[in-house]
Amino acid sequence: PATIYLKDYTPPNCLVDQVTLDISIHAGFARVAARLAMRRNPVSAGGPLKLDGEDLQLESLSLDGQPLTASAWRLEGETLVIDEVPDAFVLETVVRIDPDQNTQLSGLYRSKDGYFTQCEAQGFRRITYYPDRPDVMAKFVCTLHADKASFPVLLANGNPVAQGDEDNGRHWATWEDPFAKPAYLFACVAAKLDMVEDYYVTTSGRRVRCAVYVEPGKLDQCDHAMAAIKKSMKWDEDVFGLEMDLDHYMIVAVGDFNMGAMENKGLNIFNTKYVLARPDTATDTDYQNIDRVVAHEYFHNWTGNRVTCRDWFQLSLKEGLTVFRDQQFGMDMHSAGVTRIQEVRGLRAAQFPEDAGPMAHPIRPASYAEINNFYTATVYEKGAEVIRMIHTLIGKQAFRRGMDLYFQRHDGQAVTCEDFISAMQDASGKDLAQFQRWYNQAGTPKLVVRSQFDAAARRYTLEVTQQFPATPYEERMTKDGLPQARGPYHLPIVIGLLDGEGRELPLRLEGETSPVGTQRVLELREAQQRFVFEDVATEPVPSLLRGFSAPVLLDYPYSTAQLTHLMAYDTDAVNRWEAGQRLATGILLEGVAAIQAGKTTNDWIPQDYITALARLLGSAFVEGGDPALVAEALNPPSENVLAEQMEVVDPDAIHGARMTLLRTLARELREAFLAAYLELASDEPYSPEGEQAGRRALRNACLSYLAQLDEAGAQALVVGHFEQAGNMTDTFAALASLASLDIPARHVALDSFYSKWRDEALVVDKWLQVQALSRLPGTTADVRALMTHPAFDIRNPNKVYALVRAFCAANPKHFHGADGEGYRLAADVILQLDPMNPQVASRIARCFDRWRKFDPARQALARQQLERIRAASSLSADVAEVVGKALE
Ligand code: HT7
Ligand code: ZN
């Protein structure tokens, strides 16, 4: 596929002021009439009018009311080109499209209950000819026509202005959006849906109608999403002074959707997964995800919609910033510590490996072949970390001033990441020139920190060196003639020092006259930099990168005693957790080495660690204890995260070591886990919120340890948990454990779960997922067999993600099975899916990213499958880019 470069950006030749769309949906086709009021862009270099199009059948074309003669226009590929246009003109097109056959789920497509749209990034061109780029912002009016009985609900962006019936049982509705927007934010829906509505009154007194539309019969699963909308509206007013600007804010849930949700102006379209929830169908995690995704899409209304991206290279401008905002919202709504820990876990599981693999790219890449491949953990999650670092470096108040300035300067515009940085710099007075490297350099920097303590001088010195080796991205750019200069990053290191009693030391840096608090933000700018603390009586234990203040790898030679100390005393929840993870990582890597050396014992697990975990478990039950945090701390690093620590990954040894650790802890702490499990039982009515969810998380963590005991009593406990569960969180926890136990109760549970929930699509996804994640031998064959089960549908992204992606991305033991069957399964799915839905196929292809980290035999098996995929005829640009980069 052709590569597109940021350096080639030029402003559009023509702008669109007004779009009038008329979309008429019929059985087997839709007709789209578009009237575009356009004018030449005064700042462009001139040239022909080019309109993007994809899979459109042009029926008519006229300019200023006159049909265009054949010589006046042409198609270059699928782009409609008109050489001569006046300074201002009206272009009218009529195209025919086939939404029923649109399996890509981009543009206008059919899903069970009707027709839905997805236009980001480049789906609008699949609806009509248009300059489909985010820097063309226009006002839209949209009229929809469809059969009234089959599709009673007709929605588009903005306000309803008129509606009526027409012949043959059809009806129509017109919607008008008062705000100019890029085409990627256009949406419309024609469907049979149920609706629940409520009102939110903004601080300035605007009464906003909030509506949630769902598949008929699902209104009892909408309460949480509705509450999340109102919480988000309030939070954005309180924290950023940003109000909802429309009278209608609608969410429509659809079961066929490539991603999580879409922030179309006033008409968000959501994957059902992030709307529907009832205590018996959704887990605590599902409820929390709904909160976060609803907030995320709502927050886009300002960070993305009111101020949008100039071009798709700037994607992180809206995505990184909006993820940061939804993270802040999450920390305010739920436990701040647990929320942050989960973010760090997610970053390490997905973004760090991406930054270390063939698809590494900066949060603002300088080139891409297929933009859909760049909705990545880097653009989203690392992008949010970059915004968080600005927040840490300039402080909360200056950050708020920066946001105000950003909106003051750029409301209604399509802008670049530099524009955002400039607003932050001007509002804070902090020089952020060097900071911009975060936007242009790929890879995870490593901080090597070494400490020295001079007892006589009472001085403690931290020497920090940063490493930022080039990635395949930089090598590719150099080959393309665009060498990327690299240099040290500007980043915040939040730090505290603990004395031997676990007390925080007052911190006085060299040159200061008195201590300033017990926690400091150190600013690293140099490749090597030294920070000197004065008046330090005894050698402290450093608590580095508190709150995970920068997305880096930290190399500090912590001793086991220091980590145990931090685990017990650090006031920073993230670093208490982090100390436990470091301790576990060290132990597990020793276990891996022991297994590789042929040992079958567990003597690499130190008794001190077991004692520390016992203490940790006990801490949940003392005054002020936090069960949710303890549950996080009891969960050692995943097999994938451990794999990143190895030069050559040995998935069997990693799996063996981790299982041995879990089983040893289960045996050694059996009584404590059981006591905690019993103590945490509750007969309160279910609520997904706060403390109750935290206690459930810890209780289920204890259950999952107990399930490791090869004992009938423990297995009966898990079965009892499954049978008596009063909510999906407990049911799912038990089912997940049972799925990895080779006992008759496994099949009984899986069968009864399926027969109970076979008509509830999202619950069936859970059934597929637990089986995909099973540790039992034969899982790869089971997954293949499940692909032919009536519960599976390869055209539904949620099903593919639940079964295939869960298997490939989160079951490393089986995906990397030495027989190569896991790789073959993934390749079969990619090849089958690519012609139908390249976006989803390409997401599965990303599971091969780390293939070069494995042993030669596995590498050969993976390469064979990657080459098989690459050789397929008519491979999509999406999969071709991912596979091509993997094989580079
Ligand atoms: N901004 C939205 C991105 C999105 C998307 C992109 C490509 C293909 C399908 C898609 N669905 C949604 C989602 C968000 O970040 O809020
Ligand atoms: Zn987003």
Binning pLDDT at 50, 70 and 90, where does residue 485 land? confident
Nearest-angstrom CA–CA distance, 654 and 643: 7
Q: Are 179 and 306 in contact (CB under 8 A)?
A: yes
CB 496 within 8 A of CB 504: yes
Q: Which residues belong to CATH 1.25.50.10 in the chain?
A: 758-888
Nearest alpha carbon to residue 583 among 603, 597, 554, 562: 562
pLDDT at 788: 98
Using pLDDT thresholds of 50, 70 and 90, give the confidence band for residue 80: very high
* Other CB atoms within 10 Å distance of the CB of residue 882: 28
Q: Distance from CA of residue 693 to its chain's centroid?
A: 22
The residue whose CA has the least distance to atom 6 of ligand 1 is 120
CA distance 744 to 107: 47
Taking the C-alpha atoms of residue 325 and residue 701, their distance in angstroms, rounded to an integer, is 30
Options 3.10.20.310, 2.40.50.140, 1.25.50.10, 3.40.50.970; CATH of 758-888: 1.25.50.10
CA angle 720, 723, 725 (to 5 degrees): 95
What are the counts of helices (DSSP H) followed by strands (DSSP E) for the chain?
A: 31, 32
The fraction of the chain above a pLDDT of 90, given in percent, is 99
* Tokens, residue 36: 């575009």
Enumerate residues 6+ apart whose C-beta is below 8 A from 452.
460, 461, 463
| Residue 109: predicted pLDDT | 98
User: How many C-beta neighbours within 10 Å does residue 318 have?
Assistant: 24
pLDDT of residue 722: 98
- Quote the ligand 2 centre to 318 CA distance (angstroms): 7
Confidence of residue 694 (pLDDT cuts 50, 70, 90): very high
Residue with CA nearest ligand 1 atom 13: 262
- Going by C-alpha positions, the residue among 636, 713, 639 that lies closest to residue 677 is 713
Rounded CA-CA distance 591/605 in Å is: 8
Catalytic: which of 54, 215, 297, 354? 297
Distances (CA, A) of 352 to 361, 377, 458, 641: 11, 9, 38, 9
Amino acid of residue 598: G
Q: How far is the CA of 293 from the centre of ligand 2 (A)?
A: 9
Q: Are 168 and 255 in contact (CB under 8 A)?
A: no
pLDDT bin (cut points 50, 70, 90) of residue 171 is very high
Model pLDDT, residue 690: 78
From the CA of 300, give the closest atom in ligand 1.
16
Residues 6+ apart with CB under 8 A from 509: 516, 520, 531, 532, 533, 534
Q: CA–CA distance from 592 to each of 380, 560, 656 (Å)?
A: 33, 18, 8
Ligand 2 centroid vs 682 CA: distance in angstroms? 37
Ligand 1 atom closest to Cα of residue 257:
11
Give the pLDDT confidence score for residue 818 in this predicted structure.
98
DSSP annotation of 361 reads -
Edge-to-edge order in the sheet of strand 114-118:
107-111, 114-118, 188-191, 153-156
> What is the rounded average pLDDT of the residues 499-526?
97
| Residue 753 to residues 477, 478, 725, Cα–Cα distance (Å) | 51, 54, 12
- Ligand 2 centroid to Cα of residue 261, in Å, is 8
837 C-alpha vs ligand 1 centroid, how far in Å? 15
pLDDT digits (tens, 9 = 90+) for 571-622: 999 999 999 999 999 999 999 999 999 999 999 999 999 999 999 999 999 9
Asked if residues 25 and 190 have their Cβ atoms less than 8 Å apart, the reply is yes
Quote the ligand 2 centre to 294 CA distance (angstroms).
10
User: Cα of 657 to ligand 2 centre, how many Å?
Assistant: 38
Please compute the mean of the pLDDT values over residues 692-714 and round it to a whole number. 97
ipTM over 0.95: yes
Nearest listed ligand to the Cα of residue 268:
1
Q: Which residues contact 343 (CB under 8 A, 6 or more apart)?
A: 327, 381, 548
Task: Name the segment(s) of the chain with CATH classification 2.60.40.1730.
Answer: 1-192
Task: Note the pLDDT of residue 830.
Answer: 99
Contact 145, 172 (CB under 8 A): yes
Burial of 46: CB neighbours in 10 Å, binned 0-12, 13-18, 19+: exposed
For atom 10 of ligand 1, the residue with the nearest CA is 259
Contact predicate 449/555, CB 8 Å: yes
Cα–Cα distance measured from residue 781 to residue 787, given in angstroms and rounded to the nearest whole number: 10
The ligand with the least distance to the CA atom of 123 is 1
Delimit the CATH 3.30.2010.30 region(s) of the chain.
193-301
* pLDDT of 1 above 90: no
* Catalytic (active site) residue 354: no
Ligand nearest to the CA of 878: 1
Ligand (nearest to CA of 303): 2
**How many CB atoms within 10 Å of residue 493?**
24
Strands (E), 767-851: none
d(CA 365, CA 360): 9
For 267-297, give the secondary structure using H, E and C: EEEEEHHHCCCCCCCCCHHHHHHHHHHHHHH
CA distance 88 to 223: 48
Ligand 1 atom closest to Cα of residue 323: 15
Would you list the DSSP string of 214-252? ESTT-GGG-HHHHHHHHHHHHHHHHHH-----SSEEEEE
Report the pLDDT averaged over residues 722-734: 98
Instruction: Supply the DSSP symbol for 6.
Output: G
Concatenating the DSSP letter of every residue in 366-394 gives SEES-GGGG-SHIIIIIHHHHHHHHHHHH
Sheet of strand 267-271, all strands in order from the earlier edge strand to the far edge: 194-201, 207-214, 248-254, 267-271, 261-262
Q: Please tell me the number of the ligand nearest to residue 271's CA.
A: 1
- Collect all residues with Cβ–Cβ distance below 8 Å to 624 and sequence separation of at least 6: none
Domain with CATH 2.60.40.1840 in the chain: 321-329+337-551
Asked if pLDDT for residue 701 goes beyond 90, the answer is: yes
Question: Candidates 3.40.309.10, 3.40.50.150, 3.40.50.620, 2.60.40.1840; correct CATH number of 321-329+337-551?
Answer: 2.60.40.1840
Ligand 1 centroid to 296 CA: how many Å? 11
Nearest CA to ligand 1 atom 2: 262
CATH superfamily of 1-192: tricorn interacting facor f3 domain (2.60.40.1730)
Among candidates 679, 697, 699, 680, which has minimal Cα distance to 334?
697
pLDDT score of 780: 99
Q: What number of other Cβ atoms are within 10 A of residue 810's Cβ? A: 16
Instruction: Tell me the mean pLDDT in the region 740-754.
Output: 98
User: What is the mean predicted confidence (pLDDT) over 381-410?
Assistant: 99
Instruction: Tell me the best of 111, 259, 368, 876 to mutate to test the pocket of ligand 1, counting ligand atoms within 8 Å of each CB and taking the most.
Output: 259
Q: Which ligand is nearest to the CA of 261?
A: 1
Residue 622 backbone zone (phi > 0: left; psi -120 to 50: alpha; other: beta): beta
Q: Which atom of ligand 1 is nearest to the CA of 123?
A: 8
Q: What is the mean pLDDT of the chain?
A: 98
Task: Enter the pTM of the model.
Answer: 0.99
CB-based pocket (< 6 A), ligand 1: 118, 120-121, 258-259, 261-263, 296-297, 300, 319, 372, 375, 839
Closest CA to 708 of 659, 757, 675, 743: 659
Q: CATH topology for 193-301? A: Zincin-like (3.30.2010)
**Buried/exposed code over 708-719 (b: 16+ C-beta within 10 A; e: otherwise):** bbeeeebbebbb
C-alpha closest to that of 439 among 492, 348, 361: 361
Record the tokens describing residue 51, joined without a space.
């309109």
| CA 84 – CA 96 distance, rounded (Å) | 25
Mention every residue, 6+ apart, whose C-beta is less than 8 A from residue 69: none
Return the residue whose CA atom lies nearest to atom 11 of ligand 1.
259
In sequence order, what are the residues at sequence separation of 6 or more whose Cβ sits closer than 8 angstroms to the Cβ of residue 584?
Answer: 609, 636, 637, 661
Q: Whose CA is nearest to atom 1 of ligand 1?
A: 262
Question: Which residues, at least 6 apart from 665, have a Cβ–Cβ distance to it below 8 Å?
Answer: 610, 613, 705
Cα 399 to ligand 2 centroid, rounded to whole Å: 20
| Cα 795 to middle of ligand 1, angstroms | 18
Residue 586: predicted pLDDT: 98
Residue-wise pLDDT tens digits, 314-366: 999 999 999 999 999 999 999 999 999 999 999 999 999 999 999 999 999 99
Alpha carbon separation from 603 to 590, 591, 710 (Å, rounded):
10, 9, 20
| Cis upstream peptide for 736 (omega within 30°) | no
Name the pairing type of β-strands 446-454 and 553-555. Answer: parallel
